[in-house]
């Protein structure tokens, strides 16, 4: 699966504001770890995209973000257990960001007609 890489700035304190590139489905995890107000997207950053394996993302994110103070992996705090499917939906929404706007609207309108 291919998705955009978003450039995010994390404000840890007044002097420390690192920037990281993450997939869209990682942004809620960053916000859970650092707080909503501490994570902002750098909108004028160079556009980038990259392939990733959806089957391994849950484990990758467990390793990348670690655990909260209670020992629960941050990816589980945000998306629940892997088998629940919420992370898959988030990955699909992120991949959809690469589609042209008109195509994304067309898919939505077709879903509404089928309902």
Q: Where are the beta strands (DSSP E) in the chain?
A: 2-10, 19-22, 39-41, 48-51
Q: What residue numbers bound the domain in which 6 lies? A: 2-114
Rounded to the nearest integer, the mean pLDDT of the chain is 90
- Answering whether pTM is above 0.95, one says no
pLDDT at 24 > cutoff 90: yes
Q: Which one, of 97, 83, 84, lies nearest residue 27 by Cα?
A: 97
pLDDT at 6 > cutoff 60: yes
Total structural domains within the chain = 1
């Amino acid at each position: 699966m291919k998705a955009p890489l978003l450039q995010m700035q994390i404000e840890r304190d007044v002097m420390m504001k690192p920037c990281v590139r993450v997939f869209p489905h990682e942004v809620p995890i960053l916000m859970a770890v650092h707080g909503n107000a501490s994570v902002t997207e750098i909108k004028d950053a160079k556009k980038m995209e990259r392939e990733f394996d959806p089957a391994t993302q849950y484990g990758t994110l467990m390793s990348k973000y670690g655990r909260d103070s209670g020992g629960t992996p941050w990816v589980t705090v945000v998306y629940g257990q892997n088998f629940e499917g919420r992370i898959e939906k988030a990955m699909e929404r992120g991949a959809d960001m690469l589609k042209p706007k008109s195509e994304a609207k067309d898919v939505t309108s077709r879903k509404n007609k089928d309902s």
